[in-house]
Amino acid sequence: MPRISLATKSSFRSQFVTVTGASVSLASQWLDKYDWNLQESINGYLNQDSYSRARPLKIDSKLNAIYDKYKDSNNENKIDINGTIAYLEDLNFDPEHPISLTLAFFLEAPTMGVFTKEKFLNKWQNEKINSLSGMREFILRLHNDLETNHELFQELYNFTFGFLMEVPGQRLLNYELAVDYWRLLLMNKKEFEPCYGRLEQWFDFILNEYKRGLSNDTWKMFYLFIKTIALKDPSNFEDYDEMSAWPSVIDEYIEYLKENKLLN
């Protein structure tokens, strides 16, 4: 079939999400399955979704056995931190590497170090994967896709805030943990290389000047700030408008740069 441009793929993903209500990552998976035929992929997804609601998903016995190996001995409905560490070791994934976050994103982990039984079994069963080697290969491919699929990466980025919440009802992310994960997410992505220096200045500002918890809105808006302002003009932030509705912490960051003669 003819090669499909990245712009066309992005458009197809957006249309798929609009029609089906599925996530961007799921849209990519179904479009891939149908060789990027938009109508066939939508029909396939809707038919499958209707069927799955009418009939429970049958879980492969091998997949059940994998889950049972790692499940919490006190709560069979989840894999806890010890099981998660063992699972990552068997997949040969470093817990400190961004690929471990990709795995958590795919399995929709509710918080750090935890996988639910429902998501673990259903997500892998939907992919018809019932071996550790198959899981590793799938996550490696998904991780590579994140480098070029900007919508999927933004979905991962947005997922990360909730993933880092430590207690129910928590609304602010610890600023030191936020910087750790900004480094993990943004400083490992080639797209952001032109503004690595500005990112380091942001980290310094947050750690040494701001030193307060960060909201979900700030987390999301900072990503948009990097995409729409910093990447376009890392030297001068020419498109930055102080009258725009940026979170106050970003305005404070701009003032910090100016006061320290790091920005005109």
Q: What is the CATH number of the domain that holds 136?
A: 1.10.238.10
For residue 125, what is the enclosing H or E element?
helix 117-126
Q: What are the φ/ψ torsions at residue 119 (nearest 5 degrees)?
A: -70, -45
Q: How far from the centroid of its chain's Cα atoms is residue 209's Cα?
A: 28
pLDDT at 2: 61
Residue 141 lies in a domain: yes
Arithmetic mean of pLDDT over the chain: 92
* 156 and 251 both lie in a single domain: yes
128: left (phi over 0), alpha (psi -120 to 50) or beta: left
- Is 264 a domain residue? no
Average pLDDT over residues 151-180: 95
Measuring CA to CA, which residue among 263, 151, 150, 164 is closest to residue 205?
263
For residue 196, being part of any structural domain is answered with yes
Please tell me the pTM assigned to this model.
0.82
Final residue of a structural domain among 125, 148, 171: 148
Residues 112 and 197 in one domain: no
Distance CA 135, CA 129 (A): 7
pLDDT in the model for residue 49: 56
If you average pLDDT over residues 23-52, what whole number do you get? 81
Mean pLDDT of 95-117: 96
75 and 174 assigned to the same domain? no
Highest mean pLDDT among 20-24, 49-53, 119-123: 119-123
pLDDT exceeds 70 at position 55: no
CA–CA distance, 28 with 142 (Å, rounded to integer): 10
Q: Using the predicted structure, report yes or no on whether residue 6 has a pLDDT greater than 80.
A: no
Question: What pLDDT is attached to residue 27?
Answer: 85
Residue 38 in any domain: the answer is yes
The range of the structural domain enclosing residue 255 comes to 152-259
Residues 18 and 66 in one domain: no
Q: What does the pLDDT read at residue 54?
A: 47
- Of 1-10, 107-116, 133-142, the range with the lowest mean pLDDT is 1-10
Q: pLDDT at position 5, please?
A: 75
CATH number at residue 164: 1.10.238.200
Q: Looking at per-residue confidence, does 83 or 28 come out higher?
A: 83
Q: What is the pLDDT at residue 19?
A: 85
Is residue 211 domain-resident?
A: yes
What pLDDT shows up at residue 53? 52
Q: What is the pLDDT of residues 40-49, one digit of tens each?
A: 998 888 887 5
What is the Cα–Cα distance from 217 to 232, expressed in whole angstroms? 22
3-state DSSP assignment of residue 214: strand
pLDDT beyond 60 at 25: yes
Name the residue with higher pLDDT: 105 or 27: 105
Place of tokens 């396939």: 44
